Amino acid sequence: MLTPLQRYLEKTPPHRVEPSFVSYIANLQQIAVTMPHIAALIVKELESQRSHLKLIASENYCSYAVQAAMGNLLTDKYAEGHPQYRYYGGCENIDAIENAGVEEAKALFGAEHAYIQPHSGADANLVAYWSILAAKVESPALAELGETNLSNLTETQWEELRHKLGNQKLLGLDYYSGGHLTHGYRQNVSARMFRSYSYAVDRTTGLLDYDAIEKQAMEIKPLILLAGYSAYPRSVNFRRFREIADKCGAVLMVDMAHFAGLVAGKAFTGDEDPVQWGDVVTTTTHKTLRGPRGAIILCKKAFAEFVNKGCPLVLGGPLAHVMAAKAVALREARSDQYRQYALKIRENARTLAAECVRLGLHVQTGGTDNHLLLLNIAETHGLTGRQGETAMFDCGITLNRNSLPFDRNGPWWTSGLRIGVPGVTTLGMGEPEMKEIASVVKLVLDGTKPADSEKGGISKGRITLDEKIRSQARSQVQTLLEAFPLYPELDLPSLKTYFL
C-alpha cells in the first residue's frame, strides 16, 4: 500500500509539488505510524483554523520555518543553566542556539540584555519578579551580612530574608482595566508573593491617567511599578511611566506580551517603546510577534545576572527546540516585510474600530491605537461577553469575551468582547475586509438575544440566534476565509483523505 506521501507525489505533476506540503505530509505520516489519532487531530485543527475567522487578539499564525524549528531532535537535550554555564555536558550546540536567539532579540529591540528561556508569559513574569527581588532585596541583604551564598545563611538569617522577600509591593494595572492575571490578581501567585496594589483606568475616559497613577505610586512606593496589558486599546506613554518610577523609587517593569510585535516592527517608537524606558521587559513570542509559543525577557545590564538565573530560580530545563524557533521568529521580525505587517496591524485595527463606531457599536475609549479593540455589548445589546462569544463562534468567528473597566458582570460572564487583528492581518486582509468584519459582528450581535434561564429569569450564558442571520453571517465569514486561506499550500481535502 502506498504511503500518503507516495500518494501525493503520484498524483501531482512534478512542477506542482509544494515543498511545504511535502514536509507536512511527511511529518504527519511519521506521527500516524505511532498514533493516527494525533495526526488526524492536527489535520482537524488545520480545518478548524481555516474555517474560522481568528479575531483573538493574542493569537497569530507563525511561519513554516518557525514550526519546523520546533519539530526536531533539539527537544531531546537537557541544558539547565544558561550559555557556557550549564549543568549538563554536550550543550555546545544549545549554547550556540540560545546565544543566536539572544543576539536576535537584542538587535531587534535594541535591548541591553535578553533571556529567551521562559516557556510562557506567566513564567517570564515570575522570572522577572524574582530577578528584581534578587537584585533589589536579596543581593543588598547578603551584602549587609557579608555573604555571597544563600546556602551559608543561618536558619534565622534565611527566615528574615524570606520575610523581606515576601513583604514587597507591586503596583500594576487592574485586571478589569486590562491588566493581566499575573499582574497581581488575587487568583494568581503574583498577588500572594507581593503586597499587591493596582491602578485603574479613568472611569469616564477609560484611559490611563498618569497623574493619578503618579499620586498612587507616591503613596504606595512600590518596589515594582508594572506597566503593560492584555486588554487596553490605547498606546502607553512609557517615558511617563519611567518618570513616575524614578520619582517613587520603583523598578519599572513592562509586560509587552500583547504589543511586542508593534515594538519590533517599529509601529511603536519613542515614548511608546517600552524597551527604551523599562528596566525589565517581558513578552510572549506567539502573539503579535508571530513566533512559537513561549516568552523572552529584555532588561538593562544591571538585571542581567539575575535574569540569567531564571533556571533554576523558577524554570526547569530550557526548551531548546522552542529557543531555536524563537531565534527564527526574531530574525523574521527584523525584515522590512515584518515592519509593514506591524504598521498594517495598527491600520487595520483603526479601520475596524472606526467602522464599528459608524455602525453604532460601543467601542471602549472610542477607538484603538494598537492591535485590539473592546466592545461593550452589555450596553448596546444587553448581552454578556459570554453570550457574544458563543454567538460569534456559532457564526464562524473565534474571539474572546473580556471584562471591561468596572465591569458589573464580573470576570466570568463579562460585558465585553475583545477583538484583535494580528491573525487576519497575517492572512493579508486590509481595509475592505475590516469593514466586512465589522458588519458581520454587528449583524451577529443584532441577531442574538439572551435566552431564558433554566432557573427562571434571563440567562447570562445561553442565547437564541436568529437562523437567517446565522446563515448570512456564516456565508460572509466563509467568503472572507476563502479569499484569504490559511497556509494555502496545504491541500486540506487531500490531508483529510490521507489521515482522517
Residues that bind ligand DSN (CB under 6 A): 58, 121, 180, 230
Q: What are phi and psi of 448, to 5 degrees?
A: -110, 135
Residue whose cell numbers read 475583545:
418
| Cβ-based nearer residue to ligand DSN, 210 or 393 | 393
In the complex, least distance from residue 62 CB atom to ligand DSN, rounded to whole angstroms: 16
Mention every residue, 6+ apart, whose C-beta is less than 8 A from residue 232: 173, 177, 178, 201, 208, 370
| Cβ-based nearer residue to ligand DSN, 258 or 321 | 258
Grouping H, G, I as helix, E, B as strand and the rest as coil, residue 194 is coil
Q: What are phi and psi of 118, to 5 degrees?
A: -55, 140
Please check whether residue 316 is in contact with residue 117, taking contact to mean a CB–CB distance below 8 angstroms. Answer: no
Q: Which three cell numbers stand for residue 350?
A: 483603526
| Cβ-based nearer residue to ligand DSN, 81 or 422 | 422
Q: What are phi and psi of 253, to 5 degrees?
A: -110, 140
Q: Which three cell numbers stand for residue 58?
A: 493574542
| Cβ-based nearer residue to ligand DSN, 183 or 442 | 183
Helix, strand, coil % in the chain, rounded to nearest 5: 55, 15, 30
| Cβ-based nearer residue to ligand DSN, 97 or 227 | 227
In the complex, least distance from residue 180 CB atom to ligand DSN, rounded to whole angstroms: 6
In the complex, least distance from residue 357 CB atom to ligand DSN, rounded to whole angstroms: 23
- Distance CA(250)–CA(225), nearest Å, equals 6
- Distance CA(169)–CA(190), nearest Å, equals 11
Please check whether residue 480 is in contact with residue 433, taking contact to mean a CB–CB distance below 8 angstroms. Answer: yes
In the complex, least distance from residue 284 CB atom to ligand DSN, rounded to whole angstroms: 7
End-to-end Cα distance, the chain: 17
Strand partners, 297: 115, 282
* Run of H or E residues at 254: strand 251-255
Which residue number has the CB closest to ligand DSN?
A: 58
| Cβ-based nearer residue to ligand DSN, 198 or 230 | 230
In the complex, least distance from residue 184 CB atom to ligand DSN, rounded to whole angstroms: 14
Q: How many CB atoms lie within 10 A of CB 337?
A: 9
Query: How far is residue 298 CA from its own chain's centroid?
Result: 16
In the complex, least distance from residue 257 CB atom to ligand DSN, rounded to whole angstroms: 6
| Cβ-based nearer residue to ligand DSN, 168 or 414 | 414
| Cβ-based nearer residue to ligand DSN, 57 or 445 | 57
Q: Which three cell numbers stand for residue 284?
A: 510572549
In the complex, least distance from residue 287 CB atom to ligand DSN, rounded to whole angstroms: 7
| Cβ-based nearer residue to ligand DSN, 55 or 97 | 55
Q: Which residues of 447-480 are buried (b: 16+ CB within 10 A; e: fewer)?
A: bbbbeeeeeeeebbeebebbeebbebbbebbeeb
Q: Which three cell numbers stand for residue 112?
A: 541591553
In the complex, least distance from residue 100 CB atom to ligand DSN, rounded to whole angstroms: 26
Question: Please, what sign has the CA dihedral across residues 472, 477, 480, 485?
Answer: negative
In the complex, least distance from residue 420 CB atom to ligand DSN, rounded to whole angstroms: 9
